[in-house]
Amino acid sequence: MASLMFTTCTKNAVTGKRALTLIPESEMIGMSFTEYDKFLSEHPPLPPSDPRVQMVQRVGNRIQKAVEQYYADKKASGDLKGFQWAFNVVDENTVNAWCMPGGKVVVYTGLLPVTQDEEGLAVVMGHEIAHAIARHGNQRMSQGLIVQFGGAALSAALSQKPALTQQLFQQAFGVTTGLGTLKYSRGHETEADKMGLIFAAMGGYNPEAAIAFWQRMSSGGGQKPPEILSTHPSDDTRIKDLQAFMPEAKKYYKPQ
């Protein structure tokens, strides 16, 4: 097991941290493309002429360029191998957005009244893209595979129980859940907050928008579990962490 963990750890080019990822990223990306096409066939996206789509694609393209430039500067462009970026909008009143491996993004129209503008949207999209780039979903699926199959390869798991493996994938990337529900650990969420803030800032969006966005999310109401019982940091903790990280994020801010 120690040998397995050593040989299957990946290094985050932004944070320098290592994490266990049992599944080759090429397999994750291949599954992502299949699941993304399946999702869009069941939830037809809005047309490119829709102003909401144009806004999402504009923000997505700017963050994509920022991510690619950041990884090129770090000499880590190989981490983005196989990416085929796509930004789509689904007309559903759900406060949610997600990004699958390979840069496959979906934003729900129910999120847009909360983000309010491009800067608020960049906060969320940067965060979700950070999850995919940091391979948080791979880490979550790896944990699930260990529990369900004893660490079997994804291909073996698919052949044994494809429906269960698909469910693990969807849960890992929040495809069937709303923003703020239990899909990533608190550590993953905090890491994605910071990485996403850097990506949004590099894309020309003021990272200070993150504070106002999470304040709006916090005031949205709804019963939330105590932080100690949740895999997410509380909104107050998240805002404090973002405020503490803000001076670092603003080093990357390049207004456009």
Residue 244: per-residue pLDDT? 96
Residue 69 covered by a domain:
yes
pLDDT in tens, 87-143: 999 999 998 899 999 999 999 999 999 999 999 999 999 999 999 888 887 777 666
Which pTM was predicted?
0.79
The 8-class DSSP code of residue 30 comes to H
pLDDT category at 223 given cuts 50, 70, 90 is very low
Residue 5 covered by a domain:
no
Residue 14 covered by a domain:
no
Is the pLDDT at 62 greater than 70, yes or no?
yes
If you average pLDDT over every residue of the chain, what do you get?
81
Residue 1 covered by a domain:
no
Distance CA 88, CA 105 (A): 6
Do residues 198 and 122 lie in contact, with contact meaning Cβ atoms separated by under 8 Å? no
The average pLDDT across 203-220 equals 91
Q: Is 119 a catalytic residue?
A: no
Give the residue carrying structure tokens 């928008």: 209
The active-site residue out of 119, 128, 189, 208 is: 128
Torsion angle in degrees (nearest 10) through CA of 83, 104, 36, 136: 90
Q: In terms of residue numbers, what domain contains 44?
A: 24-250
Structure tokens at 19: 């994490």
The average pLDDT across 169-198 equals 70
The average pLDDT across 150-161 equals 59
Residue 101 covered by a domain:
yes
**Could you tell me the CA-to-CA distances from 101 to 136, 146, 202, 239 in Å, in that order?**
10, 20, 21, 27
Structural domains counted in the chain: 1
